[in-house]
Structure formats: structure tokens, C-alpha cells
Amino acid sequence: MGNSDTTASDEIMDGESVLTVHSIDVGMSAPSIRTSNGNEIAGHGLALADVPVEQERAYWEWRVKSNQTDCVAVMFGVSNKRNSKFFEILAESSIPPEKHGTKFMCNISTLIDGDVIGVVVQQSEIPMIQLYVNGELRDGGQVSRFRGTVFPSVYLPTGSAEISAIFLYREDQFIHGPPSPGLDPLIAERSLM
């Protein structure tokens, strides 16, 4: 599986070509998040992709970039829809920033530059999220029983290290790829009909 710098793919729907582009939704992300090329984030706080996870089984990856030689901690998973008012209210509260919309996310504290986190979402009787680090299932990297419409998300911590993450959502972008058959790349909501 290869890596690609393009950000669009063509999907066929009813015999017509439909352009599908997923990116980070700035309106649903923390104001301290910066984006570039639509799918790379930096800064700190919660960032959500613009596509809900609607399919039964889905897979995507995040590639971590860091200027630190030490390990860094980043949270991955899904989050419910957010807006600027959500972040305004939480900024005035005593809730720690790492709790801002991260209920359905797991912390991975041993990441180094270039690590790839694969996210598997299964929405069966007991919805579950599993995290893979460089193709290996991560102990403690599971979340079960999430509810509602969820979006791929990442939480970058505050600190001195410059950390960024790149959202890889198409099969031709995957570095490791799904850990088992039947896991598909994210499909845009309009493409499910």
C-alpha cells in the first residue's frame, strides 16, 4: 500500500463519478488547531474530520510528525459533532483540555516521528474502536459502546514539542492498511445511498 500526496478520489455512484474529499473540519475543531493541505493538523486540541463514520466497518490512518526525539502522547478515535460554542464554553470551565470531546478516544503515549496509527471502527451490536500502532494492535487502545454520529478525530496535546498529524483516509494513502478483510476506507455519507 502506498502513500500519495493527492487529496481527492473518484467514486462511482449510479454510473457517475463523484469527487470525494475528506479533510479536517476547522469549524468543528478547537480554535488552537491549524490545518494545511486540508488533512494535516498542528497546534493543540481536538480536531475532527468532516465526514461522519456511517458505515458498519471503517478504517483510516493518522501519520504522526514530531520534532522531538522523545516519545509524545496523542489521542486518537472518534468524537461527536462539535462547534465553536462547545470550545468557548469549555475554555471557561475547569474541565482539563484533554477531556474536551475525547470520551471516545485513547491516549497513545509512546509515539515518535513517523509512527502510523490505524483506526478501526465497527458499529455492530456493541460499537467498538481499536487502535493499531505501525500495524500492531495496541494494548489498551480500545473504546466500546460509543453512541451517536461520530467523526474521525485526534487530540494533540499542549507542550513544547511541535506535533502534527496527517489524516490518511483513502486506500492508496494507507501506509499499513486495514488489519483484516472487510474494513473499508471512509465513505462519504452521500456515497452510501
Q: 9-191: what fold? A: Jelly Rolls (2.60.120)
The band of 127, judged by pLDDT with boundaries at 50, 70 and 90, is confident
The band of 1, judged by pLDDT with boundaries at 50, 70 and 90, is very low
H or E stretch including 88?
helix 84-91
Q: Give the pairing type, strands 57-66 and 184-185.
A: parallel
Cα radius of gyration rounded to whole Å, the chain: 16
| Assigned C-alpha cell, 30 | 478547537
- Residue 50 has φ and ψ, to the nearest 5°, of -90, 10
What pLDDT, on the 0 to 100 scale, is given for residue 68? 80
The band of 8, judged by pLDDT with boundaries at 50, 70 and 90, is very low
What pLDDT, on the 0 to 100 scale, is given for residue 189? 62
Q: Give strand pairing partners of 151.
A: 79
More confident residue, 1 or 54: 54
Residue 15 has pLDDT above 50, yes or no: no
pTM listed for this prediction = 0.84
